[in-house]
Amino acid sequence: MHHVTLLTVGAFARASGLPVSALRYYDAAGLLRPAHVDPATGYRRYAPDQVERARLVARMRRTGMPVSDIGRVITADPVTARRVVDAHQRRLEAELGAATAQLAEARELLGVTTSLTVDAVALRSALGSVRHAVGEQADWPALHGVLFDVGDAALRLVATDRHRLAVSALPAAGVDGPPVRVIVPVAVVDAFLDRPETGQVGVSLTADRVTLGGLDGTSIDALYPDYEAVLAAHGFRGVEEKVGTSVTAPDLLYRVETANGADAGRRDLVLLGLDPAELHIGDARGTVAFDRQYLADAVRSFGDADLLLTAGERDTLRLAAAHGPDAVVLLMPVRLAA
């Protein structure tokens, strides 16, 4: 066969769906020998009619079929080959059944409940301080709620939409069960925020269910981002730090809402800069652009508190309460076109 009718290794890999490294392996195993090997360079070429066999090998290998059985499938008569495939499927189904049973037993062992008691007013305040940062992206359901992170004697609440991160902590009493992280859906959070109850309320968390006082819901079945790594990556080791430029929340909110935009066409942005002496808003002296609505929401979440503002890694803005409950909000900057 003349070389012009043959496929290069790269072209054959693309046509078959097998990487070049796999083609070398299947060549050595005798499953897919090249149609021609250049005796001088060792360069391999494949015939176009080998593509179908290569695709069959790829499909079988993706199911975990042993190489010896793949060899039988591609060399035996159709009836024998079909029986080899059927036998492999029966093995897979048996293994899946056994694995499913083992996982069911593991879930039984992990099906514990963590319960605690918190002050209803404090819980509403803490939820309100992070609610603005809950995400709505359809492709990331883990962000559609508030993370309840339970430690030995504290409850930390976390919300993020990838552009901002809000964390608040409050004391918990009577913690019964292991430390746990459960995502409470925003519908349950909003329902609790609308309730007027006071005094102590019970919180119950499992992998499947959440209870806040008299409210029940289904926890979000997803893994939450590592928010502690985000805090650390931006130079913030914990919500307990009390350093930064001081400003009152009402004053900052007024200045954020009335400041000029980053430029004439970007009223949605506000320029903000920090130095040891004062806070700059709405001018270009070492300032960074932030989403105006996100910044206003973050400031509102602190009520009338005195705030500490700190510039972190890559111009991330950190807002924290100077006194009172541990709470922090991180805002990512908006990069302006040069």
Low-confidence ranges of the chain (pLDDT < 70): 1-4, 109, 235-244, 261-265, 275-278, 283-286, 324-325, 337-338
55 and 141 assigned to the same domain: no
155 and 70 assigned to the same domain: no
Q: Amino acid identity, residue 209?
A: R
Phi then psi dihedrals of residue 125, to 5 deg:
-65, -45
- Rounded-to-integer distance, Cα 147 and Cα 158, Å: 5
- Rounded-to-integer distance, Cα 10 and Cα 43, Å: 11
Q: Where are the alpha helices (DSSP H) in the chain?
A: 9-16, 20-28, 51-62, 67-75, 78-110, 120-130, 186-193, 227-233, 249-258, 292-300
pLDDT tens digit sequence for 309-328: 888 777 888 888 887 658 89
pLDDT tens digit sequence for 209-233: 999 988 999 999 999 999 998 888 8
Side-chain half-sphere exposure of 99, counting CA atoms within 13 A: 6
**224 in a domain, yes or no?**
no
Which are the contacts of 278, defined by CB distance < 8 A and separation ≥ 6? Answer: 245
Domain coverage including residue 323: 235-331
Looking at 84, 107, 130, the residue that finishes a domain is 107
Q: Amino acid identity, residue 230?
A: V
99 and 127 assigned to the same domain: no
Which are the contacts of 208, defined by CB distance < 8 A and separation ≥ 6? Answer: 218, 219
167 and 156 Cβ atoms separated by less than 8 Å: yes
202 and 240 assigned to the same domain: no
What confidence score (pLDDT) does residue 276 get? 60
What confidence score (pLDDT) does residue 257 get? 87
115 and 106 Cβ atoms separated by less than 8 Å: no
153 and 189 assigned to the same domain: yes
43 and 35 Cβ atoms separated by less than 8 Å: no
| Domains identified in the chain, total number | 3
What confidence score (pLDDT) does residue 239 get? 45
Looking at 153, 187, 218, the residue that finishes a domain is 218
Hunting for tokens 């806040």 — which residue is that?
A: 212
